[in-house]
Amino acid sequence: MNAQKMIAGNATFDPPAAIEPAVGSEDWLAYNHGKRIGILIVAYNAVNTLAQVLRRVTPQVWQNVEEVAVFDDASPDATYALAVGLKTVNAMTKFHVVRNHQNLGYGGNQKTGYAYFAERGFDVVVLLHADGQYAPEILSHMYHPIVAGEAEAVLGSRLMRTYGGPLKGGMPLYKYVGNRILTSFENRALGMKLSEFHSGYRAYSLETLSHIDLTRMTDDFHFDTEIIIKLNHQGCRIKEVPIPTYYGTEICYVNGMKYAGNVARSVLRYKSTIRSVKKHPEFQEYFVHYPLKQSGYSSHYYFEQLTGVDQDVLDIGCGEGFMATRLAKRGNRLTGIDVLAEPKCPETFQDYVSADLSHGLGDAVTQLAGKLFDRILLMDVLEHLVRPEVLLHHCLGFLKPSGLLLVSVPNVANVTVRLALAFGNFNPTERGILDKTHLHFYTRKTARRLLDQNGFSVVREKTTVMPFELVLGLSARNPIMRLLTRVLGVLTATFPGLLGYQTILVGRARPVTQSKCEKP
- Tell me the pLDDT tens digit for each residue of 439-492: 999 999 999 999 999 999 999 999 999 887 766 766 667 788 788 888 988 999
Higher pLDDT, 501 or 245: 501
Read off the pLDDT of each residue in 297-301 and give the average, rounded to a whole number. 88
Read off the pLDDT of each residue in 19-48 and give the average, rounded to a whole number. 86
Q: Do 335 and 350 form a contact (C-beta atoms < 8 A)?
A: yes
Give the residue range(s) of CATH 3.90.550.10 domains in the chain.
Answer: 2-248
Q: Do 208 and 125 form a contact (C-beta atoms < 8 A)?
A: no
Read off the pLDDT of each residue in 305-314 and give the average, rounded to a whole number. 95
Q: Quick one: pLDDT band at residue 249, thresholds 50, 70, 90?
A: low
Percent of the chain topping pLDDT 70: 90
Label the pairing between strands 124-129 and 37-43. parallel
- Rounded Cα gap, residues 313 and 249, in angstroms: 68
Q: Could you tell me which of 118, 94, 103 has the C-alpha nearest to residue 43? A: 103
Read off the pLDDT of each residue in 317-321 and give the average, rounded to a whole number. 89
Q: Quick one: pLDDT band at residue 98, thresholds 50, 70, 90?
A: very high
Superfamily of domain 2-248, CATH level 4:
Spore Coat Polysaccharide Biosynthesis Protein SpsA; Chain A (3.90.550.10)
Other Cβ atoms less than 10 A from the Cβ of 316: the count is 25
pLDDT score for 504: 96
Per 3-state DSSP, the chain is made up of helix, strand and coil in percentages (nearest 5) of: 40, 20, 40
pLDDT score for 292: 65
The SS3 of residue 465 is coil
Other Cβ atoms less than 10 A from the Cβ of 349: the count is 22
Torsion angle, alpha carbons of 394, 396, 400, 406, to 10: 90
Phi, psi (rounded to 5 degrees) for 144: -55, -45
Between 14-18, 343-347, 510-514, the lowest mean confidence (pLDDT) is in: 14-18
- Rounded Cα gap, residues 371 and 313, in angstroms: 10
Q: Has residue 517 got a pLDDT over 60?
A: no
Q: Has residue 16 got a pLDDT over 70?
A: no
- Rounded Cα gap, residues 79 and 99, in angstroms: 10
- Rounded to 5°, the CA angle 225-133-82 comes to 110
Q: Has residue 215 got a pLDDT over 90?
A: yes
pLDDT score for 2: 39
- 240 pairs with which residues across the strands? 155
Give the residue range(s) of CATH 3.40.50.150 domains in the chain.
Answer: 299-313+375-509
pLDDT score for 3: 38
Read off the pLDDT of each residue in 493-503 and give the average, rounded to a whole number. 94
pLDDT score for 513: 58
pLDDT score for 250: 58
- Rounded Cα gap, residues 439 and 348, in angstroms: 30
pLDDT tens profile 404-453: 999 999 999 999 999 999 999 999 887 789 999 999 999 999 999 999 99
Read off the pLDDT of each residue in 252-274 and give the average, rounded to a whole number. 88
Q: Which residues contact 121 (CB under 8 A, 6 or more apart)?
A: 36
Alpha-carbon torsion (215, 217, 223, 226), positive or negative: negative
pLDDT score for 514: 47
Q: Has residue 500 got a pLDDT over 80?
A: yes
Q: Has residue 80 got a pLDDT over 80?
A: yes
Q: Has residue 399 got a pLDDT over 60?
A: yes
Read off the pLDDT of each residue in 60-68 and give the average, rounded to a whole number. 95
Q: Quick one: pLDDT band at residue 280, thresholds 50, 70, 90?
A: very high
pLDDT score for 384: 95
- DSSP, res 157: E
Other Cβ atoms less than 10 A from the Cβ of 34: the count is 9
Buried/exposed 431-454: b ≥16 CB within 10 Å, e otherwise: bbbbbeebebbbbbeebbebbeeb
Element (H, E) at 312: strand 312-316
The SS3 of residue 138 is helix
- Rounded Cα gap, residues 84 and 41, in angstroms: 14
Q: Is CATH 3.40.50.150 what the domain over 299-313+375-509 is classified as, yes or no?
A: yes
Q: Could you tell me which of 305, 316, 314 has the C-alpha nearest to residue 390? A: 316
Q: Which residues contact 467 (CB under 8 A, 6 or more apart)?
A: 293, 295, 298, 501
Average pLDDT across the chain, whole number:
89
pLDDT tens profile 145-166: 999 999 999 999 999 888 888 8
Q: Has residue 9 got a pLDDT over 50?
A: no
Q: Has residue 23 got a pLDDT over 70?
A: no
Q: Has residue 515 got a pLDDT over 50?
A: no
Q: Which residues contact 410 (CB under 8 A, 6 or more apart)?
A: 380, 383, 432, 433, 435, 438, 441, 442, 501, 502, 503
Read off the pLDDT of each residue in 269-297 and give the average, rounded to a whole number. 82
Q: Quick one: pLDDT band at residue 353, thresholds 50, 70, 90?
A: very high
Phi, psi (rounded to 5 degrees) for 34: 80, 5
- Rounded Cα gap, residues 186 and 258, in angstroms: 16
- Rounded Cα gap, residues 329 and 397, in angstroms: 27
> 256-274 and 173-190 are packed helices; what angle lies between their axes, rounded to 10 degrees?
0
Torsion angle, alpha carbons of 434, 435, 437, 440, to 10: -30
Label the pairing between strands 502-509 and 456-463. antiparallel
The SS3 of residue 397 is helix
